[in-house]
Amino acid sequence: MKNNDRNGAVALLFHLLFMGFILAPLVVVCLVAFTPNDFLSIPTRHFSLRWFISLWGDDDFTSAFKTSLLLGVCSATLSSALALPAAMGLARYRFPGRDTINAFLLSPLMIPPVVLGIAFLRLFTLINMGGSFASLVACHALLIFPYALRLIMAGFADQAGQSGEAEHAARSLGAGRWTTFRRITLPMIVPGLVGGWVLAFINSFDELTATIFVAAPATITLPVRIYMSMAETVDPMVAAVSTAIIALTLVAMLVLDRIYGLNKVLVGNH
């Protein structure tokens, strides 16, 4: 009994140290965002909102944030729409070449983003799409496609038995294929579909390496803007941007948890 208690205390201490190691950089960034000074420093006497006020009035950062938000929504929606039929075929059917197709669809994870960025730059230049918003959506949709595919496939796998029986019952009662999919299959895989969309959106919103090659002055995303700002000068405004993103992410996760439940979105538990 004592041995179990000692192991429990050691495990708890290890997890606390690990969480502290992970969260420490985020805490430092959030503290620096409230500094009243003109340089990076942790406030010791009083906190200030001057850098958040400056951020709100900075047209470059607000425009980049809107671009990243719209780009994330469009690319995540497109990748999820393409991943849905692919996931259904790969999860439900066994056929020659299935593993090869699965590996091919997941291949963007194995190719360095800088290589994909250069390839997309060359491709979009040849077809006169360089610097357009559509080219950014296409680039991000390919990069985040594997994330949506894996979670949607997991959603099909979790509901394999239930959805098969329900679909068979619906078809035996006269429902067509589209009606069966819309009324039976789709509601059952919502956790995987939503989880895939959320994960794809997060990766699109955070993507930097390939975006540098594809973006134009009119389509600069927030990560690219942060990178450009840090290349020119380092001031607490970058920390303010990071803190705002962290806060928005936390709020979004809390709202999602209240409305639907994070366990259903990320794990698929009902």
Segment 83-110 shows an average pLDDT of 88
- Say yes or no to pLDDT of 252 above 90: no
Tens digit of each residue's pLDDT (9 = 90 or more) over 194-242: 888 888 888 898 898 999 999 888 889 999 998 888 887 778 888 888 8
Kindly report the number of other CB atoms within 10 A of residue 24's CB atom: 10
Query: What's the confidence (pLDDT) of residue 1?
Result: 46
Highest mean pLDDT among 1-10, 73-82, 91-100, 249-258: 73-82
Task: Compute the distance between CA of residue 268 and CA of residue 148 in angstroms, rounded to an integer.
Answer: 14
Residue 215 CB contacts under 8 Å (≥ 6 apart), including other chains: 131, 136, 221, 224
Query: What's the confidence (pLDDT) of residue 137?
Result: 94
pLDDT grade for 267, boundaries at 50, 70 and 90? low
25's tokens: 């950089």
> Residue type at 175?
A
The greatest distance separating any two alpha carbons of the chain, rounded to the nearest whole angstrom, comes to 72
Query: What's the confidence (pLDDT) of residue 42?
Result: 85
DSSP summary character for residue 120? H
Task: Compute the distance between CA of residue 36 and CA of residue 32 in angstroms, rounded to an integer.
Answer: 9
- Confidence (pTM): 0.81
Q: Which domains does the chain have, with CATH numbers?
A: 51-267 (1.10.3720.10)
Query: What's the confidence (pLDDT) of residue 161?
Result: 56
Task: Compute the distance between CA of residue 243 and CA of residue 120 in angstroms, rounded to an integer.
Answer: 31
DSSP summary character for residue 45? S
Tens digit of each residue's pLDDT (9 = 90 or more) over 137-185: 999 999 999 988 988 888 777 666 555 667 667 667 677 777 777 777 7
51's tokens: 């850098």
